[in-house]
Amino acid sequence: MELLRIITAGSVDDGKSTLIGRLLYDSKAISLDILEAIERSSKNKENGAIDLALLTDGLRAEREQGITIDVAYKYFTTENRKFIIADTPGHIQYTRNMFTGASNANLAVILVDARNGILEQTNRHSLISSLLGIPYLVVCINKIDMVNYAQDVFDKLVDEYKIFAKKLSVKEIVFIPVSAKFGDNIVEKSKSTNWYTGPTLLNYLEKVKVVENEADANHGRFVIQNVIRPQTPELPDYRGYAGKVISGVYKKGDTVTIYPSGIDTRIKSIEQFEKEIDIAVSPMPVIFHLEDEIDISRGDYIVKQNNGAIITKSPEAIICWMDENVLTVGAKLLLQHHSSISKVIVKEILYTINVNTFEKNDDDKAAKLNTICRIALKSANLLVIDDYKNNRSNGRFILIDENTNNTVAAGIFSVI
C-alpha cells in the first residue's frame, strides 16, 4: 500500500494539532484505549467535548502551555493509503523543527486561521516547504466556523495566498475551508459550506499522486552499513554487504560501481531474510553479494552504473542552524550522511536566506539559532552525495558538534 508523508505547519494556535486529531478521530484511526485516555485528559470534558489536540501534544509542557513544542509523528491507515503525519511547532523559535520534519515529506498542510489571515509564519513555512522540494501544498483555511462559514473570507485569503505563492516552486496548491474543531471538510463534506465544491482533506490526501523525485526512482543508491563475514564451517566463503536501498531499483546481474573507489562489478545475488530475491527497491534492507572481491567498508556506496553520484570533499549546502552558539567560519564539525561520518570544516558562510521573502543576504552572514544559510564545507574524507533537488534521499545530512555530540544543523546538499 502506498505511503504518503505529510507535514503540518502554520502559526501558533492555527489548530494544527486539533486538525490531525480530528482527521484521526473521524477516520476511526484511534484505538479505544487511546481514545479513553484522551477523554479523561481533555480540558473540555465537563462540556462533553474531546480535546483532540492531545493526540499529538504528548509532552507534559505542551499540554500545560497548550502549544506544540516537539515534532510529533502519527501513523494511520485507510483503505486506500498509509500515512505518516508530522505535527510541527508554530513558534518562530522552533523553525529548526519544521525544517527537519519537512525534509522527508511528500505533502505539506499549511493552516491559516480564517480570523487572522496570512501571517509571517504562513509565509515562512510555505517557503521552507518549497525550499525542501515538497511538491504539494494543501492550504487549510481553518476555524471557518468562527467567521460564519463566509465564502468571501475564504476567497479573499485564497487570493492573498496565491499572490505570495508566485515565489514558490511547487506542483500543486489546493485550498480547503475547514473547521478542525467541528470536522467541517476534514473527512466529511460540510453542509455549512455548500459553496465549496472541492475535496475534503482526507479525500485529497487519499487521491493525490505521490511522485517521488524522478532521480530517486531511477538513480540507484545503496549505502553499506555492515560487511558480513561469518567464516563458519557452514559459510566459509560468505561475504555479504548489508544495508538499505536509499533510492532506485537493483536487480540481480546489474552492473554497479563502488564509491568512493570507482571500481565496477556486478550484483551476483540479492538476499533478504536468508532468502534470495531478484529485485530490491527503496527502502528495502537487503544484503548484496558481488561477483568480485573488492575492498569495501561501512559507509561505502553501491551505485547503479551510469547513474553516478557526486564524489567530493568540498560540497556546498543549505543548512538550518540549530544551536544556541553562533556558527562561525572555521568551525570543526562532524557530518553524518547515512552511516558515514566525516570531519568537516566550515570554509565559508556564503549567505543567509530571509525565509519571509526568499531573498539572499550576502551582507548578513551570522548564522544564529534557526538561521537558514548556504555554506561551503571542506571534508577530510570523500563524500558520496547527490544534489538534494535531484535526489532527496541521498541529499540530506546533519552536522554534529564533535565535543558535545549535539546535532547542531540539518542540511541539504546544493552543489549544482
Using CB atoms within 10 Å of the CB of residue 362, give its burial: 0 to 12 exposed, 13 to 18 middle, 19+ buried: exposed
* Beta partners for residue 251, in sequence order: 279
Question: What's the confidence (pLDDT) of residue 211?
Answer: 63
CATH superfamily of 310-413: Translation factors (2.40.30.10)
DSSP string for residues in 303-339? EETTS--EEESS-EEEEEE--SSPB-TT-EEEEEETT
Q: Give buried/exposed letters for 148-182 (b at 16+ CB in 10 A, else e).
A: ebeeebbeebbeebeeebeebebeebbbbbbbbbe
Mean residue pLDDT across the chain: 85
| Contact between residue 339 and residue 299 where contact means Cβ atoms under 8 Å apart | yes
d(CA 373, CA 319): 6
Question: What's the confidence (pLDDT) of residue 116?
Answer: 92
Question: What's the confidence (pLDDT) of residue 35?
Answer: 57
Best CATH choice for the domain 215-304 from the list 3.30.450.40, 3.10.20.30, 3.40.50.10860, 2.40.30.10:
2.40.30.10
Coil, strand or helix: which one is 33? helix
Q: Which three cell numbers stand for residue 398?
A: 546533519
pLDDT one-digit tens code per residue, 221-279? 999 999 999 878 888 889 999 999 999 999 999 999 999 999 999 999 999 998 999 99
Q: Which CATH code for domain 3-211?
A: 3.40.50.300
Coil, strand or helix: which one is 209? coil
Q: What is the mean pLDDT of residues 331-342?
A: 94
Q: Which three cell numbers stand for residue 246?
A: 536509499
Domain layout of the chain by residue ranges: 3-211, 215-304, 310-413
Percent of the chain with pLDDT over 90: 52
Q: To 10 degrees, what angle do helices 151-164 and 120-131 make?
A: 50
Q: Which of 47-56, 243-252, 391-400, 406-415 has the lowest mean pLDDT?
A: 47-56
Q: Grade residue 10 by pLDDT with cuts at 50, 70 and 90.
A: confident
Distance, C-alpha 202 to centroid of its chain: 20
pLDDT at 202 over 70: yes
Same fold, 3-211 and 215-304: no
pTM: 0.80
Q: What is the CA radius of gyration of the chain?
A: 24
Helix (H) or strand (E) run with residue 397 in it: strand 396-400
